[in-house]
């Protein structure tokens, strides 16, 4: 059985003080849930958040990392650095990184390999633009991303992987994919994983939906057969909303 995962992606928001207050205000209220609870925060606050969430069911993730162990990569953070502070998850290939920071399928693939090497669970983001959806290119784009990003990963790695389907046109726009659109594309991702690996792998990998998820639509999305959670931006910054999302 796949355990759903509700993850907040705080993006470039909040100070350490605000982040710690946030955790204080939600930790009791999210403690009774059956879903996995994750907050992906900016690098500066990861260590403090790890300490703050000790003994709770809240896991902490990063939003990016480099694919090399160490070296002359000014401004970057490595997997061993994240591992050293006990980081559980890392988002790889978010569309904002692909769009603004020249992330490619090739770098995503290297990052996935590196994350697994250091026992950090990657959340791989894939998704199509509005023009691609309108041009009926969604499945072609997604299949291409999944095939390239997962290259050389083995069955047991892909079983541990989390994939987030995030249609770019639904991110931060208030335009949510309908639950049926999200279900259809996520079922297609599962089919793609099955074709690349096998049924056991495709039935084990967790696939989230992301894009304008909020308390008002989370239950409908989570009730879809193939959807195993949500990757939430805006609504994850409001403590009350995050609590509602986790307890949908
Ligand atoms: O990683 C989260 C996604 O980019 C969704 O962001 P959003 O919930 O603000 O639309």
All domains in the chain, ordered by first residue: 41-247 (3.20.20.70)
pLDDT for position 175: 84
Residue 66 known to be catalytic: no
Contact present, 6 and 39 (Cβ < 8 Å): no
Contacts of residue 7, Cβ cutoff 8 Å, sequence gap at least 6: 38, 39, 40, 61, 89, 123, 164, 208, 229, 230, 231, 232, 236
CA-closest candidate to residue 230, choices 169, 171, 159: 171
Provide block-wise average pLDDT over 10 residues at a time, the chain (248 residues). 97 98 98 98 98 98 98 98 98 98 98 98 97 95 98 98 96 88 98 98 98 96 98 98 98
- Largest CA-CA distance found in the chain, in angstroms, rounded: 48
pTM, full prediction? 0.98
Substitution candidate for ligand 1 out of 5, 7, 213, 241 with most atoms within 8 A of CB: 213
Which of 94, 96, 128, 132 is labelled catalytic? Answer: 94
Helix (H) or strand (E) holding 187: helix 179-196
Q: How high is the ipTM of this complex?
A: 0.99
pLDDT for position 193: 98
Residue 166 known to be catalytic: yes
pLDDT for position 176: 81
Q: What share of the chain is helix, strand, coil (3-state, %, to 5)?
A: 45, 15, 40
Residue 77 alpha carbon to ligand 1 centre in Å? 22
Binding residues for substrate: 9-11, 172, 212, 233-234
pLDDT for position 1: 86
């Amino acid at each position: 059985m796949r355990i759903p995962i509700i993850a907040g992606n705080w993006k470039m928001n909040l100070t350490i003080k605000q982040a710690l207050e946030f955790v204080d205000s939600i930790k009791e209220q999210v403690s009774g849930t059956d879903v996995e609870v994750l907050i992906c925060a900016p690098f500066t606050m990861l260590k403090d958040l790890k300490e703050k969430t000790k003994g709770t069911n809240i896991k902490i993730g990063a939003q990016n990392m480099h694919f090399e162990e160490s070296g002359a990569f000014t401004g970057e953070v490595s997997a061993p650095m994240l591992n050293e502070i006990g980081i559980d998850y890392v988002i790889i290939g978010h569309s904002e990184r692909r769009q603004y920071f020249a992330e490619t399928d090739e770098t995503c693939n290297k990052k996935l390999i590196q994350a697994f090497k250091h026992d950090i669970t990657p959340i791989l983001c894939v998704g199509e633009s509005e023009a691609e959806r309108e041009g009926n290119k969604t499945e072609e784009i997604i299949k291409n991303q999944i095939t390239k990003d997962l290259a050389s990963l083995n069955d047991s790695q892909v079983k541990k992987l989390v994939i987030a389907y995030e249609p770019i046109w639904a991110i931060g726009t208030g335009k949510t994919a309908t639950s049926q659109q999200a279900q259809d594309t996520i079922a297609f991702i599962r089919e793609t994983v099955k074709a690349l690996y096998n049924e056991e792998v495709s039935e084990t990998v967790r696939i989230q939906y992301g894009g304008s998820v909020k308390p008002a639509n989370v239950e409908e999305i989570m009730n879809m057969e193939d959807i195993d959670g949500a990757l939430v931006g805006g609504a994850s910054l409001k403590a009350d909303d995050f609590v509602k999302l986790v307890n949908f």
